[in-house]
Amino acid sequence: MSVERRREISILFGDPNRGMRMQYRAALRAEGFTQLHEFDTLENFPALCQKVQPDLIFMDAAMPEGNPADTVHDLRHGSLGSNPFVPIIIATWDASRSVVHRIIDCGADDVLIKPLSTQSISGRIQALADNRKPFVVTADYIGPDRRRSSRPSGGDPALLTVPNPLRAKLDGLPTGGDEFRRQVEDMRSQIGRLRLKAAAFRIAFVAAQMETIRQGAGEAGLMLLGSLLVSAEDMRGRLSGLQDHGAELALCDRLIETVQPLVVATDNRLHDGQNSAATIQSVAAVLLQTFHPERSGADLAADVAAAIGRYRARQEAVASGALQVG
């Protein structure tokens, strides 16, 4: 990464401690980065992000006036900022498993454990420019691929090479230019389509377990229904901005109207939800085939069954203590 190119890269960095911000500024300037913009809270971060249009965001995991994990989630889902693919590094003093996992699960590219050296910061920036992980899209996640290995039975989400402003600046492509903006918008559209597919699959995944939920699966069952509701609402929101999806919007409305009472119901009411279960399953089947027209019904059913098998195996491992979460 040439020094001249580094001067073109805009970095937005934040830490609640003024001394730490001064250290970061000195370290970054020593490495040739001159377009540096700092913040000490998340209160005005949305406006600052829109103004700066950063090529990299670097912040502490404990920023006041907000939640950095929620901020990264909003960036990745396009509700904050203009580029959901901006590289993001989160720094933390807490190397505990739960904190690191929370950072990774929000969609950040990298986690740095404090104290930091100039070399560690510069090295990670270089790595994000040259060897950034591809993105994946699921029903509840958009961000760098978190998996250490592929699933033996297949069914892995597609890997996406998203527009990288760091790489673009090194290649002399202005990130404010028409070409880079077109790349961002094209990838937004592709992710939107993948989100519809993922939402349809999540809905079918829960629908296939309705008999178990109806008979009384307690908190786990309610969480599954909650995830179905979130996916249905996400699908509806995405379809409302598209044309020629009136039938699918109606199905989403029917699904939401059916599931909402179950989410707030007691377990006893869930036991008596046979009609609701049938409605959910029939709507889920139509949505799954609609958004996966390239797959046969038998193949889709097999994928759903495999996903349920993995989910139940994981639940059993957690219950037995063989797998720790958080």
CATH of the domain at 111: 3.40.50.2300
Residue 153 resides in a domain: yes
Residues 166 and 219 in one domain: no
Residues 308 and 221 in one domain: yes
Residue 183 resides in a domain: no
Residues 156 and 297 in one domain: no
Q: Which two tokens stand for residue 155?
A: 């069914």
Residue 121 resides in a domain: yes
Residue 202: domain span: 193-320
Residues 108 and 228 in one domain: no
Query: Contacts by 297-304 with C-beta closer than 8 Å and gap 24+?
Result: 300/204, 303/155, 303/201, 304/201, 304/204, 304/205, 304/208
Q: Which letter, b or e, does each residue of 174-201 get, where b requires 16 or more Cβ atoms within 10 Å of its Cβ?
A: ebeeeebeebbeebeeebeebbbbbbbb
Predicted pLDDT at 222: 86
Predicted pLDDT at 151: 53
Residue 69 resides in a domain: yes
Predicted pLDDT at 210: 92
Residue 184 resides in a domain: no
Residues 15 and 89 in one domain: yes
State pTM to two decimals.
Answer: 0.87
Predicted pLDDT at 170: 84
Residues 51 and 78 in one domain: yes
- Report the sign of the C-alpha dihedral through residues 219, 222, 224, 229, in that order: negative
Peptide bond into 134 cis (omega under 30): no
In Å, what is the CA distance from 178 to each residue of 77, 173, 174, 175, 183? 22, 10, 9, 8, 9
Report the percent of the chain where pLDDT is more than 90: 70
Q: Which two tokens stand for residue 82?
A: 């203009």
Predicted pLDDT at 113: 94
> Closest by alpha carbon to 248, among 258, 259, 237, 263?
237
Number of domains within the chain: 2
Q: Which residues of the chain have pLDDT under 70?
A: 1, 148-155, 216-217, 265-273, 324-326
Predicted pLDDT at 266: 52
Residues 286 and 171 in one domain: no
Amino acid identity, position 6: R
Q: Which two tokens stand for residue 158?
A: 């597609």
Residue 77 resides in a domain: yes
Among candidate residues 146, 176, 206, the one where a domain is terminated: 176
Q: Which two tokens stand for residue 272?
A: 């008596």
